[in-house]
Chain A
Amino acid sequence: MAVEPTPSQTVGPFFSFGLLAADASQLVPAGAPAAVSLSGRVLDGEGDPVFDAMVEIWQADEDGNYRPDFGWGRCGTDAGGRYSFVTRKPGRVADPDGGTQAPHVSMLVFARGLLKPVRTRVYFPGEAANEEDRVLSALAEDERATLVAREVGGGLEFDVRLRGDGQTTFFAV
């Protein structure tokens, strides 16, 4: 019997003691083989840092497999709107059409003022598979550019702009 979904409500400003008590930002220990830092800022429509957001990620392992025991992370933003994960670059994931998708990390951002999370994907710079990725190639160039992380100082930087100029491309599912 079909039943109607429970609607979303904002996470509000006071979630940290409930959701961030345990650090879940390191999917692998810093310094582990092939560990890569994935960090960035969450910015509002005026470019100001969103200091009370929570970022969650979900990704495949380095072989492109989704596993029950790896791939999820959560990090709050600091006063500068920054989040930071340590993870591994995922492999290519199977596409239902029979091809593969370019390596990517799924990301949700929750915050006061977001009545439901925004959903995006982080792709990797300099990745040949990006050219063939079904999602990336269906986007306009400026939309695509918001989804590819930048390599900065050996790590990856990915800013989430919630609104305004250069808004990150967000998805519905």
Chain B
Amino acid sequence: MDKAFNFESFDIKLETDFIGRNFIYIEEIDSTNRFLSSSNEKYDNGTVVLAEKQTEGKGRKDRVWLSARGLNLTFSILLTEKKIILKNHQLINLASSLCVALSLENLYQLHPELKWPNDILIDNRKICGILIESTSKGSSLEKLIVGVGLNVNQAHFQGDFRIEPTSIKIEVDENVEREKVLAEYLNCFEEVLSKIKSNPSWITSEWRERCRMIGKRIAVTEDDKIRYGIFTDISEDGFLLLRNGSKVEEIHFGDISVT
């Protein structure tokens, strides 16, 4: 059963200074990312938009994100601080998925695995997907939006999925408090953002520890093109380093799988 989002219980647990302090709750919308990217309103840095139902939840390119009403967390975070978005936008990719892993470890002692660039899996099943969108006017980044879809209390998934889905409820065998999960994630996100500025290598090393594909032979697929090689490491900026013979290539995007 879905349960209305309890703002008080969320607010008590939120310990941030700016992430989620401007909080917008919407019953139904096309996409929370689009809400923030297309709005002419100047929302504060750290604004969070949570929707109970997205009618056009987005994945990469033209893929969609499906989520049942009121059971999960689908939200977007707006970042406008130039210091972060101009210099460290790539690390936000890793940081946003690392925070999901840290939150699930802290709250439920789960052992999530991170899949490059930013999927979160539990026993090879996808529990969370992240899509980051930014807009730039001319040559300068204006704003960056981190969209997170986290499966919380959904117990059944219908449809065809590229990767089989799971949820926190399926993993821990009980309903969990969405407010607690969201507050934990946002608390962690703010902390990790400050780490990006003070100690960026912490992000890459924590991320690496949770990625089980490093060292394995993988295939990188993008449209009709497949590249093979050894996933040797991630670069300081978070790009995938693929070794083929003596050549190491920096991969910017694509779907990866172990071969």
- Do these two chains really belong together in a complex? no
Identify the A interface with B (CB < 8 A): none
